[in-house]
Copies of this chain bind each other. A is one copy, B any other.
Amino acid sequence: MAKKKTTFNVSKSENFSEWFSEILQKAEITDLRYGVKGFVVIRPWGALIIDKMYRLYEDELRAKGHELSILPTIIPEENFNKEASHIDGFAPEVFWLDKKQGDSRLAMRPTSETAYYEMFALWIRSYRDLPLKMYQRGSVFRNETKATRPLLRGREFQWIETHNAFATKEDAEAQAQEDIGITEKLMHKVFGVPFFPMKRPKWDTFPGAVYTIGSDSLMPDGKIIQQPSTHLIKQSFPKSFGVKFVDKDEGEKTPWTTCYGPAMSRILASVIGMHGDDSGLVLPYALAPVQVVIVPFTGEGVDKAVLDIEKKLREKGVSVKVDDSDKRPGEKFFHWEMKGVPFRIEVGEKELERGEVSVFIRDNKEKVGVDMKSLARTIGKMGVEYDARLLAKADLFFEDKVIDCSDKVSIGKAIGDEKIARFSFCSVEADGEACAGVIEKEFVAEVRGTRADLDEKASGKCPICGKKNKVVVYAGKSY
């Protein structure tokens, strides 16, 4: 047990970045030693968490009417070329195959608008075909020019992309709001990762979109991490693919389209960063591949009791692992704390005599006695409380991070203090880009846009150019 102090070389609060690199390795989430730069291996523990995320997201998307589909990984260059801003945005990052098809190069998809729209042109005929809401899960590929970081920015990452077509702009915008609702329901409420839905400045809008709503979360070092984005796509984009429909009024129209892209690997980065501590991962009960680990001690009747507990928990749908390996108890505790298993049940003769097992709770490290008769029901209840605790703690951390500022000095101070500066600003249209550039240059911080869920009123004059303020923006350092 003496070894426990050296779990990490640095504590999370001292050096988050180093702690994060270490935990990925020690909790066996990723392996960075694979032989292609920027491509990482996701090990079983990480893959199982991602799998749980996928299932939760897919269930939610299906409940909201999105249909699963599987589109090819390869997209012809000519599809990209149809929307100039889209190809301009993605061209530097595309992996191309070495063989062409005719004159067209072949790309590994960086995102699949240009694959879906080719099919939408074939599938959509009439307003009766709308809304058409589809999704797929899988990898996308981006030859990142920025430095890659495991889970946060890789050359291949695991995501879901929805692609949707609507008869009206209103329907499309309602979809964008529904998407924010899904991020709120899952990433915030279930995974415990709070965020602000931010409408991006014009200069930071997705290539081919009218507007982009990104969800900005925070890492413990105060840096912003962009989580799922929704884009309201310019009509010119589907139009360039010949996507059109005959409306109720018999007029031929172009549908409005949207897309939404939750990246499982990146959300996992937020979950690890937000909840982990100096003993390892702290996983939400709803995401933990193993929710309860049982550590049996030698003693009469223990084996039978453990089998019984395991069976009862399984019947309640709890994911249980019995660690009957020949490791010492201390090693087992250390291992499962590192893995972030929410509850550890210790069973020995002493516990059997009392009719009560010891339950160690991962997040607050408390140990409580639980009556064996009602154990399965109690664990379920404790799981709910556990997730509520993680959520409350994350919310508290998040709320504390936004500082109202009114001038350059206060903006600089907030950002220097690893906070998010909120301030009135001249513009998030093209005419505001120069002022944002000043903030970026002086404070190495980005103007992230305006709240998509609130109508915040601007006041005063721009802290950079002195023109009348039109919007309230948030700025901070980011990943």
Known pairs A44-B68, A95-B97; A73 contacts B119 (CB<8 A): no
Proximity string of chain A (30-56) to chain B, C-beta cutoff 8 Å, 1 when within and 0 when not: 010111110111111011101100000
- Name the residue of chain B whose CB is nearest to the CB of A51: B68
Contact (Cβ within 8 A) A34 B115: yes
Interface presence of A434 (CB below 8 A): no
Segment with Cβ contacts to B, from A134-142, A216-224, A350-358? A134-142
Contact (Cβ within 8 A) A70 B158: yes
The interface residues of chain B lying within 8 Å CB-to-CB of A69 are 41-44, 47
The interface residues of chain B lying within 8 Å CB-to-CB of A42 are 69-71
Proximity string of chain A (69-89) to chain B, C-beta cutoff 8 Å, 1 when within and 0 when not: 111111110110000000000
Interface presence of A156 (CB below 8 A): yes
Contact of A138 among B74, B96, B97, B138 (CB under 8 A): B138
Q: How far does the Cβ of A448 sit from chain B's closest Cβ, in whole Å?
A: 30
Chain A residues touching B, range = 35 or more
> When chains A and B are docked, how far (Å) is the Cα of A191 from the Cα of B69?
21
Which A169-215 residues sit within 8 Å CB-CB of chain B? none
> When chains A and B are docked, how far (Å) is the Cα of A101 from the Cα of B36?
8
The interface residues of chain B lying within 8 Å CB-to-CB of A73 are 73, 108, 139, 141, 156
Contact (Cβ within 8 A) B35 A118: yes
Contact of A31 among B105, B122, B136 (CB under 8 A): B122
Interface presence of A328 (CB below 8 A): no
Can you list 25 contacts pairing A with B, beta carbon distance less than 8 Å?
A31-B123, A34-B72, A34-B118, A35-B118, A36-B72, A36-B74, A36-B75, A36-B101, A37-B101, A41-B71, A42-B69, A47-B67, A47-B69, A48-B68, A72-B156, A73-B73, A73-B108, A74-B155, A95-B97, A96-B99, A97-B97, A97-B108, A98-B98, A138-B138, A138-B139
Interface presence of A445 (CB below 8 A): no
Closest 4 CB pairs of A and B: A42-B70, A44-B67, A39-B72, A98-B98
Interface presence of A106 (CB below 8 A): yes
- Name the residue of chain B whose CB is nearest to the CB of A36: B74
The interface residues of chain B lying within 8 Å CB-to-CB of A95 are 97, 99
Contact (Cβ within 8 A) A98 B101: no
The interface residues of chain B lying within 8 Å CB-to-CB of A34 are 71-72, 115, 118-119
Contact (Cβ within 8 A) A106 B36: yes
> When chains A and B are docked, how far (Å) is the Cα of A107 from the Cα of B51?
26
> When chains A and B are docked, how far (Å) is the Cα of A214 from the Cα of B227?
44
The interface residues of chain B lying within 8 Å CB-to-CB of A33 are 119, 122
